[in-house]
Structure 1
């Protein structure tokens, strides 16, 4: 049982393999076994809508028109966001700037890697 990792959510040691996944018996959290080997237990990774891993400095493209709070200018489909920054402890959001709007915080589900 020493090769079975602790739960990444509750840090409990009561985990077991279930097919291609690991399951925590304490909190019922499930995570893929392959992700633990690739990431080395580094925590959640920011991924775009296609599942590609995002990193600081990447360029991304908006996949649908988005309304921007505090601005009358919408963010159109196909807009390129250059030099993104990952939000610490939040794999679902990135920070970046477009050509016309500065200081954006965007959900990764509306982006694809350029």
Structure 2
């Protein structure tokens, strides 16, 4: 245990509990400071049907016809989206196509080169 002293009486006679410390001399209790490690979240890499890396703001194009579940609409091959947004989950792309907000899997689109 690192050298810990009471912030009130500065005595190092301290008991350690699960979530706090307690000074045996003056009885003062204080919360343990959680030391957060420098964890850098790994940026999710989403690739289209041809292996191109997609980023938020890219425009994508359908590579095959897809029927939208619950509707009679079909997203036709070649249909372009508005700028996309990368999200977590199994449908990693949020976008608008044909005036409809939809979530798509990256395997059904290709990146449109600007």
TM-score in terms of structure 2 length: 0.57
Number of the residue aligned with 2:111: 113
Unaligned residue ranges in structure 1 (runs of 5+): 1-39
What corresponds to 1:62 in structure 2? 62
1:15 match: none
**Residues 33-76 of structure 1, C-alpha deviations (whole Å, 9 max, x = no match):** xxxxxxx9824301101111111110000000001012211000
Q: Name 1:76's counterpart in structure 2.
A: 76
1:17 aligned residue: none
Gaps of 5+ in 2: 1-39
Q: TM-score, normalised by structure 1?
A: 0.57
In 2, distance between residues paired with 1:62 and 1:55? Answer: 16
Higher Cα radius of gyration: 2
Say how many residue pairs are matched: 73
Secondary structure of the residue that 1:82 maps to in structure 2?
coil
Note the aligned Cα RMSD (angstroms).
2.0
Residue in 1 that maps onto 2:49:
49
* Structure with the higher fraction of residues in helix conformation: 1
d(CA) in 2 for partners of 1:99, 1:72: 13
